[in-house]
Amino acid sequence: MNLILLGAPGSGKGTQALRLSKEFNIPHISTGDIFREAVLTGTDLGKKAKVFMDKGKLVPDEIVVGIVKERLEKLDAKDGFLLDGFPRTILQAFALKDELAKLDKKLKAVIDIEVGEQELIGRMTGRRVCVDCKKVYHLIFEPPENQDYCDACSGRLIQREDDKIDTVRNRLVIYTEQTKPLIDYYKKEGVLHSINGEQDVENVFKDIITAIKGEYE
């Protein structure tokens, strides 16, 4: 089962991806997570990516595409994968299409999680992340017991640099200009499912499952 989670920054892709990857037993491939890990460990990739990420800009296509291709060729993606945050430009979508053809794989579904702009801003600015186990919270919608520490591992909770309001606005502009056109692209490919993302986490998950299962029949 090969799936893509599309959706604006803050729409709930990461939250749903964790559940979907368990449900279908497929690896969760998040380009954002890959870049954040590279920034933390200070690799060359991390140094390059950080410059773009901090400004809320997209990392250049040629860097992202190479990483995703390598990742899709790993053994654990043999029977399925869940892409979260990739593709984000038409060029990335074309590169993915070529790679899937090369690996003789087909996309099962592209899930677009729809959330309005005001809600997106609230979700991003209220997001907090554990520095140790990377668990994601929200100050209002998914609050930790203590605002500063992770319930799961007691690690420190931080706000992502790019979740501060000014960068959030840039990310939304870039989303509209560069990523939104993918909705039409995948509609034409006949694989798109639009999901109402302004429901609680459980109901968004249920709707995604229903959309994917519909594909079986």
| Contacts with ligand ADP, residue ranges (CB under 6 A) | 7, 9-15, 31-32, 35, 52-53, 56-59, 64, 85-86, 88, 92, 123, 126-127, 136-138, 141-142, 162, 171, 200-201, 204
Which span sits near Zn ion by CB under 5 A: 98-106, 132-140, 170-178, 204-212?
A: 132-140
How far is CA 11 from each of CA 16, 75, 96, 116, rounded to the nearest angstrom? 10, 29, 22, 9
Q: Among ligand ADP, Zn ion, none, what binds residue 52 when CB lies within 5 to 8 Å by partner kind?
A: ligand ADP
Which token pair is 19?
């559940």
CA dihedral sign of residues 139, 57, 110, 1: negative
Smallest distance from ligand ADP to CB 16, Å: 7
Residue list 134-173, contact with Zn ion (CB under 5 A) = 135, 150, 152-153, 155
**Backbone angles phi and psi of 16, in degrees to 5:** -70, -35
Name the residue nearer to ligand ADP (CB basis): 32 or 216.
Answer: 32
Q: Among Zn ion, ligand ADP, none, what binds residue 94 when CB lies within 5 to 8 Å by partner kind?
A: none
Name the residue nearer to ligand ADP (CB basis): 11 or 216.
Answer: 11
Name the residue nearer to Zn ion (CB basis): 58 or 129.
Answer: 129
CA dihedral sign of residues 150, 168, 211, 215: negative
Does the annotation mark 128 as catalytic?
no
Does the annotation mark 19 as catalytic?
no
Ramachandran quadrant class, 84 (left: phi over 0; alpha: psi -120 to 50; beta: rest): beta
Name the residue nearer to ligand ADP (CB basis): 123 or 193.
Answer: 123
Contacts of 189 (CB under 8 A, 6+ apart): 107, 110
Separation of alpha carbons 161 and 51, rounded Å:
12
Does the annotation mark 160 as catalytic?
yes
Question: Across-strand partners of 193?
Answer: 111
- The contact set with Zn ion (CB under 5 A) reads 130, 132-133, 135, 150, 152-153, 155
